Chain A
């Protein structure tokens, strides 16, 4: 709660999660590709696609019996959507003297494919969350984990319709939200957000640039208000 606490916390090694990581690198063996430990937050494990179901089983038997969610990430850089109307965004980048660079990183735990599946599990006895990831190969298919966690049923159906990922062994991969005649996979980065294409988003005025001659004055006002507030009880 106090201001000093977070600095101390991050300095402290996270023994609970480190012990877990050691445990899993042993029990998962070669299926574990990469891991990422963010002290006092979550633990990321990336496993091979072939061992996806087995890894989930291993992790569940280690006490992670609570199923949080399952979803997917499309790491493609969007050709449409957010980067389509970036006159404003790129203008800001130039102002900051930062070159616009395309970030190809694939998050905690890394990744080699465009699509990744992730599942969040929780251990109630340890009070630790765990995020398991796996790469989805060219065939866009991974094994279902519905038999391990029945709750994954709907999450897999959602991932199927939104990303076009198939789950081997899932009996009813029908659309959950979308109408049956819907074409395309809306959460893929190459799926255009039509409303945004037709009419540019007016929300940019929210963070409109402040004219130069007013900036110093405004900054001073904000600081004065900030300090006045700080003094008030």
Chain B
């Protein structure tokens, strides 16, 4: 580098300033930034078209449909037992939990009730799929903000839970195990003890996540106060699950509208957080995962004996009527509105998925946030694309 005189330096600085002035006069209108459809933060193929003013988002519009599979139409041409195969694939990380509300709604129309043993095993599998689903979120949230380690822990430990689900149902991701009137099979021998040890490991995993992320200064700086959703807005958009509870609304369908599963038989609590920001959503899900392992532990202690299948006809016909039944799935309220005309298959099924409502708040919550926060908020709202697109 050659030595420069003060004079030369001043000339350089002033020319730079002149350039900057020219730039100000140039067009600095809004810029459109596409996030996705193939971004890791989108858990599938969601495209987020953001219009930016400098570093700030003016409008963020999610564009979906890349994975729309038309399940509502397909259910109309299938019999009730065949529908569960499709329904498994809505939220693919917590598949068993998808089947339960559909089966319960059909059971309600048929006025059939599964025997207590079936209800308990259903609840255990339901909570196991919650642990498997949320475990991935707990690790994945780290990836969204640049911490790679947690997700490897998550994949490692989630596999243990999936193994337990596989041992009962035969499927890691798509169990297709729930039947109208009960379950396909009983639990195998020795499964209870194995599951108990897996639950201990999952609690260790939760502690690790707490150490790695919740206590982490960078994580807090990136998440605290980012994407705040007040409770009344959350209710108006129909947010559910941890997203709603992180806004301080104390509502959990497992406790408040238990459709006959074994949640009322055990001692547990609903976690809420008053802040409504990305950090609160992470924190609530972390507590929920830990709580779910405690629920499983208690349920394992008291599985009642008896049959796992009620007496149902071999060919299932559901009497004419309408029913709406929803349960608290890992992602939030998942419900099925079934219209039956007394046929082998449903006349119409409306699938109310949690992610659809949870993501519909994106245009509201993204207004005015900075670009890096877009990913944080999207990650903390936590959605599964199959759950949006159905």
Contacts and interface: CB of A to CB of B under 8 A. Distances in A.
B369 interface: no
25 contacts: A1-B116, A1-B265, A3-B113, A6-B113, A65-B236, A66-B235, A69-B337, A69-B350, A69-B352, A82-B77, A82-B343, A107-B339, A120-B324, A124-B249, A127-B257, A131-B324, A149-B236, A149-B238, A162-B72, A191-B73, A193-B74, A196-B77, A203-B79, A206-B79, A206-B82
Interface string A176-202: 111100000011000101001000010
A151 B70 contact: no
A226 B308 CA distance: 9
A103 B389 CA distance: 31
Given A67-B238, A105-B320, A229-B307, A151 B360 contact: yes
Given A3-B113, A89-B344, A153-B360, A120 B352 contact: yes
Contact of A178 (B65, B113, B309, B339): B65
B238 A232 contact: no
Nearest to A219: B314
Nearest to B82: A203
B92 interface: no
A127 B256 CA distance: 7
Nearest to B67: A177
B239 to A, nearest CB: 8
Contacts of B367: none
A68 B257 contact: no
A233 interface: yes
Nearest to B79: A207
A2 B77 CA distance: 35
Given A105-B320, A151-B238, A187 B341 contact: no
B306 interface: yes
Interface in A1-16: 1-3, 6
Contacts of A3: 113, 115-116
Contacts of B55: none
Given A41-B108, A41-B323, A151-B360, A81 B257 contact: no
Nearest to B259: A41
A103 B82 CA distance: 23
B159 interface: no
Interface of B: 64-65, 68, 70, 72-74, 76-79, 81-82, 108, 111, 113, 115-116, 119, 186, 232-233, 235-238, 249, 251, 256-257, 260, 262, 264-265, 305-309, 311, 314-315, 320-324, 326, 333, 335, 337, 339, 341-345, 348, 350, 352, 356-357, 360-361, 364, 389
Given A67-B238, A71-B337, 12 more contacts: A1-B264, A3-B116, A38-B323, A41-B324, A42-B323, A42-B324, A73-B348, A82-B77, A89-B343, A118-B350, A201-B77, A229-B186
Contacts of B323: 38, 41-42
Interface in A35-70: 38, 41-42, 44, 65-69
A152 B341 CA distance: 28
B272 to A, nearest CB: 13
A2 B307 CA distance: 14
B82 A150 contact: no
